[in-house]
Amino acid sequence: MDLPHESVLLRIFIGESDRHGHLPLYEAIVLKAREKHLAGATVLRSAMGFGKSSRMHTSKILRLSSDMPLVIEIVDSEENINAFLPVIDPMITGGLITLEKVSAISYRGAVQAAPPPPPSSTP
């Protein structure tokens, strides 16, 4: 797959405890992105954050939160990202979605290593 130089970064801000059916929401979104053949997805877990409610979520030992902030980042063409938004819209009941134009410098899919040559039978 070729990722265009002018791409779009989709960021989805959710909580770690958010769910979609029987799956964590972040997992359901990443699986859906893979199913739709998007270029890739990354889930980032934050050490601290707050959202609309202004309730602080932190990983500090004395205030251990079970609902840490998560960010899912997906980079693909604008066309593919725009087609993906209606797919995830019903999955997300709370959170924030942002889009920004980015310049993709390099994208390399999985490269298969060449098999080793057969052993030589000459002495």
Residues 15-53: pLDDT tens digits? 888 999 999 999 999 999 999 999 999 999 987 777 666
Q: Is residue 12 part of a domain?
A: yes
Q: How far apart are CA 105 and CA 9, in angstroms?
A: 13
pLDDT of residue 122: 60
Q: Is residue 116 part of a domain?
A: no
pLDDT of residue 31: 98
Residue 78, domain CATH: 3.30.70.120
Query: What residue numbers bound the domain in which 77 lies?
Result: 6-103
- Higher pLDDT: 102 or 51? It is 102
- Per the structure, how many domains does the chain have? 1
Q: Is residue 111 part of a domain?
A: no
pLDDT at 86 over 70: yes
Q: Is residue 122 part of a domain?
A: no
Q: Is residue 23 part of a domain?
A: yes
Q: Is residue 92 part of a domain?
A: yes
pTM across the whole model: 0.77
Q: Is residue 42 part of a domain?
A: yes
Give the confidence band of 62 by pLDDT, cuts at 50, 70, 90: low
Tokens of 80: 């593919």
Contact 67, 57 (CB under 8 A): yes
Contact 43, 71 (CB under 8 A): yes
pLDDT at 64 over 60: no
